A and B are shown apart, each in its own frame.
Chain A
Amino acid sequence: MKLLLKFNLVLFLVFAVGLVTTGFVCQRLLRQNAKAEIMENARIMMEAAIAVRTYTATQIKPLLETQMKYSFLPQSVPAYSANAYFSQLQKAFPAYAYKEATLNPTNPVNRATDWEADIVEEFRKSRDKTEIVGERDTPNGRALYMARPMKVSSPACLTCHDTVEGAPRTMVERYGEANGFGWKLNDIVTAQIVSVPTQLATQRATSVLRTFMISLAVLFAAFIVAINLLLIFFVIRPVNRLSTMASSVSLGKSDITEFPVAGKDEIAELSHSFNRMGRSLVEAMKLLRT
């Protein structure tokens, strides 16, 4: 087996193992990062929804109190404003979703679907639980959801949700008497659910991994080519020529051209020694002939 082949085999093996190991580690890291990014997005969305709700409850609702005596304005309802905010957001990011899934909502739009109702029930059973995170398939692809419970924490909530008689007339006129009543203080009635697509972050991670692995492979290839060229020009070729020269000397030829010596590396030292040995042999052979 030739020297070049041996070198190449060893290098290829080392690089292949390195590439696979690096790829595996990087993939794990990038996936973790992607999940963290998705979770971060979900948390930002959740906090934004809470901020909009608080803003509506503390600043918008008091301003609309008089108007509410004439007609019900859903803009005064925190859940409505949070949904309206996300509706706008969805125009730019259609795969993102927000819902205040409620078991017995005033506005039917907020009624919890099967899987959402399960989450609300889970919160009702485990009252210490503050967050549920999971993944599910949606028409827009795989999505991560984050849910938080909403409790009837203030008697003010019951103004609208206790009894039909106690509720603002304008609200009853708009939504009817069938839904959204009978809530109790400290009951968990709603789960805020944020849905963030995983596809985008995963695709981004895969793209980064692919680019990194290709770059690494190209770097390895360039390294192997460079090593090969160095071996050919600085080791293999001089050694081959020295070998040819040695063969000529061994066959008794006296008109051997000296090997050109350049530089001060090991091959140059070897060439220099070999030329000296060649000259000595030629001189010795001349003495023997006379």
Chain B
Amino acid sequence: MLQGAEGMNVRQGDIIENSEGGFVQLEFANGAIVALGPASRLYVFQYATGEAGSGQTVALDLVMLNGWLKGESTAGKRLYRYRSPMLVITTTGGAVVVRSNQNACDVFLESGSASISEVNQSGNSRQTIAAKVGQFVSRQKGADATSLPRPSPAFREAVPQQFRDTLPSRLAHFAGKSIEPKTEHPVSYEEIQQWLTIPSAWRRGFAERFAPRLSDPAFRKQIELHVDEYPEWEPILHPKRNSESPQVRN
């Protein structure tokens, strides 16, 4: 676990969490700006810095577990994707505000256009809504997504104050500075437990990444207990058992 510092670099694969009163702004070299409201958890799933090719390429793909996110990007060929356990929002530019938790997700399209898809347990998308400016899409757990022409009063009331304005770029302020986060402690099972339950397609690489933590008996014990939920850990927990080839008996 690292203690973030203002101006530090973020890389693909980083997981960012902020406190109840915290506010985080991420600026990407491709021009996208993403802000996280209080008590938010975000995983930088994919991030591309190169020029857009002839086809549509994914410039940014973020997974938000819970909290508030505002994503702003300039219109173009590139795709910007914001995933939550309930909905996946894909836009080619514009501003989108997302509130997400384990049981619900609300999306408000401030500007631009977006396609908003429902997500099933395995992370696959279905039933896509083509959202227009000002549209509000909401989905409760176990229900279909609903669309309204305006955000609900409760949503408008709860939107973090910083999200109500265009996000100002501060990247130039930190240009040429090398700010390193402070190392706190090795990650515990409880700290990543919820990330291990996100759709399997989104959590690829987590097992290899956190495998060194199996040396901690408490961590290993919890993984062993829940291995049915995270089958990708099985070969790492029991490499011998999994390396034996199946025998055919007559």
Contacts and interface: CB of A to CB of B under 8 A. Distances in A.
B134 A70 contact: no
A169 B164 contact: no
A49 B98 CA distance: 40
Interface in A48-89: 63, 65-67, 69-71
Contacts of A66: 95, 110, 164-166
Which of B156, B164, B165, B166 gathers most chain A CB within 10 Å? B164
B134 A169 contact: yes
B149 A67 contact: no
Contacts of B150: 169, 173
Contacts of B166: 65-66
A70 B151 contact: yes
B110 A63 contact: no
A65 B166 CA distance: 9
B159 interface: yes
Contacts of B156: 70-71
Given A169-B149, A169-B150, A67 B164 contact: yes
A265 B10 CA distance: 110
Interface in B12-44: none
Nearest to A63: B165
Contacts of A71: 156
Nearest to A71: B156
Contacts of B164: 66-67, 70
Interface in A202-251: none
Interface string B155-175: 010010000111000000000
Please report whether the interface of chain B is mostly helix, strand, loop or mixed according to DSSP. Answer: loop
Contacts of B159: 70
Interface string B122-145: 000000000000100000000000
B132 to A, nearest CB: 13
A71 B150 CA distance: 11
B60 to A, nearest CB: 20
Interface size class, chain B: 10 to 19
Nearest to A70: B156
Interface in A151-183: 169, 173
Nearest to A172: B150
A66 B150 CA distance: 14
B165 A69 contact: no
A63 B164 CA distance: 10
A37 B199 CA distance: 76
A70 B159 CA distance: 9
A63 B165 CA distance: 8
B247 to A, nearest CB: 65
Contacts of A63: 165
A107 B134 CA distance: 24
A63 B166 CA distance: 8
Contacts of B149: 169
B178 to A, nearest CB: 33
Contacts of B165: 63, 66-67
B126 to A, nearest CB: 29
Contacts of B151: 70
Interface string B58-85: 0000000000000000000000000000
A67 B151 CA distance: 13
B209 to A, nearest CB: 37
Nearest to A67: B164
B112 to A, nearest CB: 12
A120 B35 CA distance: 49
B6 to A, nearest CB: 23
A140 B71 CA distance: 55
Interface string B95-112: 100000000000000100
Contacts of A169: 134, 149-150
Contact of B134 (A65, A67, A69, A173): A69
Which of A63, A65, A69, A173 gathers most chain B CB within 10 Å? A69
B62 to A, nearest CB: 21
A240 to B, nearest CB: 98
B138 to A, nearest CB: 16
A157 to B, nearest CB: 21
A141 B110 CA distance: 51
Given A66-B166, A169-B150, 4 more contacts: A63-B165, A66-B165, A67-B165, A173-B150
Name the 4 nearest CB pairs between A and B, nearest first: A67-B164, A70-B156, A66-B166, A66-B165
7 contacts: A66-B165, A67-B165, A69-B134, A70-B156, A70-B164, A71-B156, A169-B134
